Amino acid sequence: MALPAVWRPQPDAAEHSLHVSVQKGYRSATHSFQLDVTFTAEAGVTILLGHSGAGKTTLLRSIAGLCHPEKGRIVSGERVLFDSVKKIAIEPARRHVGLVFQDLALFPHLTVEENVAYGLRKLETKERRQKVAEILESFQIAHLSRRGPREISGGEQQRVALARSLVIKPSVLLLDEPLSSLDPQTKAGIIDDLRAWNETHRIPLLYVTHNHEEVFALGERAISLEEGKIVAEGAPMEVVSTPHRQSMAQIAGFENLFGAVVSEVRGSQGVMVCSLMGSSIEFQMPLTRVAHAEPLHVGIRADEILLATKPPAILNWCNLVHGRVQQIDFSRRRVQVHTESGLEF
């Protein structure tokens, strides 16, 4: 599988950064850690990766003002949202931070239009209606304005939640696995709309996900957390390729990650041939924006591999690797098979 080139919008003069340096202890019935992170998120999408309990949601809640760090400083542009030394802690409603959780939290008794308009209650009626109409149109839900949340699909509800967070023109947007329950086609449409919105507004977006398609389709940068600490930071492929790469690859949805080099480009066929480093294995994959002899990484999900005792007679088997099963591990409903083919898959 070829990793797609990351979409990067052109920078805008009005864009600003989010600077975060916080420490906060976290304890639950099953888990505890000390969140201790320092980073800068520029305008654009920064992906937050990490296993459950790594501190991602606690970090988002701290930025939004839903909980306060014990120490540290949070600055959006030139505006200080939190400073433990100067005793500054701006209340959530005044931080101009948009936040969308997985459960969306739409008001069931309000229409789509009323949900989106909720954060604009202090505006004059004409201005409020204009802003709501514009954001509904940009997220392709204007025709649903009079319906209630229970009368629309999950994907439409997600668009409403995003529109409600963005209509207030936040300086920062925080997204905690917002698309995890959606089908691929619906998810792709929402990602396109989110891209288009951010191309115009260019604010820092912190996006928590475990989905590899979202990581590489949206992410301009990525930060990986483990036990409340940053263990890797950079371009998404660089983060997935750290010394923790197996763990990072699994977080991003790839169980197999290999270094490779482009050995042949077949532009007329729309494919390229990549040689996996440390082996004689070559793979054909869809052509992407790389040059001949350019090094890259190839990510292969476990469910993209077919095991067979003989060459398949029906499927196109241009990527056929001979190997031997070395180990089989059973864990609840999961089976992990290790094969040796010059490289371990």
Residue 279 and residue 177 share a domain? no
From first to last of the 345 residues of the chain, give the pLDDT tens digit: 333 333 333 344 356 899 999 999 877 666 677 899 999 999 989 999 887 778 898 999 999 999 999 999 999 999 999 999 999 999 998 999 998 887 778 899 999 999 999 989 888 999 999 999 999 998 889 999 999 999 999 889 989 999 999 998 899 999 988 887 787 778 878 888 888 888 888 899 999 987 766 777 777 888 988 889 998 898 887 776 655 555 555 555 667 878 889 988 887 788 888 999 889 999 888 777 777 777 777 878 777 788 888 877 766 667 888 899 998 888 656 688 888 888 888
Residues in CB range of 116: below 8 A, 6 or more apart: 132, 135, 136, 160, 163, 164, 167
In a domain, 148, yes or no: no
Residue 336 and residue 265 share a domain? yes
CB 207 within 8 A of CB 48: yes
CB 136 within 8 A of CB 167: no
CATH of the domain at 187: 3.40.50.300
In a domain, 5, yes or no: no
Q: What is the pLDDT of residues 25-40, one digit of tens each?
A: 877 666 677 899 999 9
Residue 263 and residue 317 share a domain? yes
For residue 265, which of 296, 300, 293 has the smallest C-alpha distance?
293
CA 49 to chain centre: 8
- The DSSP annotation for 139-159 comes to TT-GGGTTS-GGGS-HHHHHH
In a domain, 109, yes or no: no
Residue 301 and residue 187 share a domain? no
Residue 301 and residue 234 share a domain? no
Rounded distance, CA 143 to CA 162, Å?
16
Residue matched to tokens 């439409």:
156
In a domain, 13, yes or no: no
- The reported pTM is 0.67
Number of domain units in the chain: 2
DSSP-assigned letter for residue 6: P
Beta-strand (E) ranges in 251-341? Answer: 256-266, 271-276, 282-286, 295-300, 324-331, 334-340
Residue 190 and residue 281 share a domain? no
**Continuous H helices in 65-209:** 112-117, 125-138, 154-166, 184-201
Residue 292 and residue 227 share a domain? no
Residue 187 and residue 212 share a domain? yes
**Structural domain of 60:** 18-96+170-247
Residue 332 and residue 262 share a domain? yes
Name the strands in the sheet holding 295-300, side by side, starting at the edge strand that comes first in the sequence: 282-286, 271-276, 256-266, 295-300
Last residue of a domain, one of 247, 265, 283: 247
Last residue of a domain, one of 247, 274, 309: 247
